[in-house]
């Protein structure tokens, strides 16, 4: 019982450190990543899942000179597997009035 309590306290402590040091998690999958602070994503909708994203999303890749934002790390992986498929969605979004 003491080992379980010690483990829970350690997890809570580490979680607090991660949150206070600029890490955030995906609401969908819970994966933690460091927040990117250098540029703004060109899209406002995740090209993979279709959900709204923040302009300063921590889940992003640079593709052909543009920062492309995503809702979670799994979507980044999907984009990297077939970027042109998802770039079509981003280009279509740019054509709409935001």
What's the domain count of the chain? 1
In this structure, are residues 36 and 62 in contact, taking their beta carbons and an 8 Å threshold?
Answer: no
Distances (CA, A) of 59 to 6, 22, 77, 93: 32, 13, 10, 18
At residue 52, φ and ψ (nearest 5 deg) are -70, 145
Q: Supply 36's token pair.
A: 């990117």
Whole-number pLDDT of residue 56: 79
Series of mean pLDDT values for 10-residue runs along the chain (98 residues): 66 46 44 52 93 88 93 96 94 72
End-to-end CA distance of the chain: 54
Residue 15 belongs to domain spanning: 2-95
């Amino acid at each position: 019982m003491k080992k379980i309590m010690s483990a829970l306290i350690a997890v809570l402590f580490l979680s607090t450190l991660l949150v206070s040091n600029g890490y955030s998690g995906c609401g969908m999958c819970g994966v933690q990543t460091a927040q990117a602070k250098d540029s703004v994503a060109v899209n406002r909708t995740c090209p993979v899942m279709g959900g709204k994203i923040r302009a300063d999303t921590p889940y992003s890749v640079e593709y052909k000179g543009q920062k492309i934002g995503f809702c979670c790390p799994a979507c980044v992986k999907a984009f990297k597997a077939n970027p042109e498929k998802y770039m079509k969605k981003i280009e279509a979004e740019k054509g709409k009035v935001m």
